[in-house]
Structure 1
């Protein structure tokens, strides 16, 4: 574990029961609220990633999504900064882990479809029905159980801060309404070196992303 965080910042997450969503929400929200209110501290943690090989190698870049890992805890949870670029959308899916999210800037439409009982790669994708539609905006926070099926569509560049719990399964299901197909995606432990390399954020891109976050005021500099 390598971090510049104050020693007590992550105390609420110590020995947390990740199956207790009430406890997860309280602990994670306490940490995320503190960082959202202290953009200088958030900036210090973010800038430190570029000089920390253990964290920078975990950062990922996709066409319209960036993930910066601010803390990788030995107990399995992670603190991440997500940047959804304008036009980002994802397909209805569940997760391998429970997480709490805090919206820092921007907004997105968040659709929940229910839990993943009988949710496999053989599901009838056309049968998925929205059960709740939310607009998540700056300051909003929520905790999502790993069994929940959901999707997100960004309205503009949107930055979120996330506490991601330990993985509880090795795969999750992604669906595509346009094609009617569904498939399993697996965690990094089972990825091929080629697939892992394809999404790994380069050092130059990571530094440029951090500079852009500073320029827009999401984080503040020294």
Structure 2
């Protein structure tokens, strides 16, 4: 895993072009020999700190495979369930994604600087594309986007260090927008609600094996 992460530590994660170029090489390393992903998943049960970072939602699971404390970079697997769709939002960090299985419709809306208040009714997609198996992309933390995923879609995500402590979420149906904050500000009750149980983790690994992704 060090060969994957080390070249990314010196990146300027505000430079999306550089992030895309560097992470594309990382994804090639991760997906060429399945043993890298298989080994990372096998080590999870011996690494409670990583298991604690994994998250389960009704329509999405996030498995943290590596947390680089030196740089703030994390490697995750996202496994999308039936009915997955995003509200338009930006992120606290720049990230890159690579599709391993399935596909999703990806809408890009523009940018929102920290502190910006947006008229949600004026939000219109400026770029729409279908992200299919083998596709990779990088997204700046200010970019507003939304995803509608096919059930069983799996992606690898390399997220950079957190650049801000909150991100903006917008609901076009009711015209509302609100800020969401990182895990460090969550209550114990909120953290418990999204806890990924060991049983669920085993189920996910079994699915990944069945799909021949590991």
What TM-score, normalized to structure 1?
0.91
Change (3 A) 1:72 1:156: same
2:104–2:147: 8 Å Cα contact kept in structure 1?
yes
Determine whether 1:76 maps to 2:107: no
**Match for residue 14 of structure 1 among 2, 9, 14:** 9
Cα separation, 2, equivalents of 1:119 and 1:15: 28
CA RMSD of aligned residues (A): 1.4
The residue aligned with 2:102 is 106
The residue aligned with 1:41 is 36
The residue aligned with 1:85 is 81
The superposition leaves residues 167-198 of structure 1 with CA deviations (integer Å, 9 ceiling, x where unpaired) of 00000011111221111110011111111111
Determine whether 1:206 maps to 2:212: no
Q: In structure 1, the residue corresponding to 2:53 is in which secondary structure?
A: coil
Change (3 A) 1:161 1:118: closer
Change (3 A) 1:118 1:40: closer
The superposition leaves residues 118-152 of structure 1 with CA deviations (integer Å, 9 ceiling, x where unpaired) of 874x5221110110000000000000000000000
1:72–1:79: 8 Å Cα contact kept in structure 2?
yes
Report how many residues are paired.
213
1:100–1:163: 8 Å Cα contact kept in structure 2?
yes
Change (3 A) 1:53 1:118: closer
Cα separation, 1, equivalents of 2:113 and 2:10: 28
The residue aligned with 1:145 is 140
Cα separation, 1, equivalents of 2:187 and 2:207: 31
1:89 to partner: Cα distance: 0.3
Q: In structure 1, the residue corresponding to 2:3 is in which secondary structure?
A: coil
1:12–1:30: 8 Å Cα contact kept in structure 2?
no
1:55–1:69: 8 Å Cα contact kept in structure 2?
yes
1:117 to partner: Cα distance: 4.0
What TM-score, normalized to structure 2?
0.94
Which residues in structure 2 correspond to 1:1-222 (within 5 Å)? 5=1, 7-74=2-69, 75-117=71-113, 120=116, 122-219=117-214
Cα separation, 1, equivalents of 2:145 and 2:14: 19
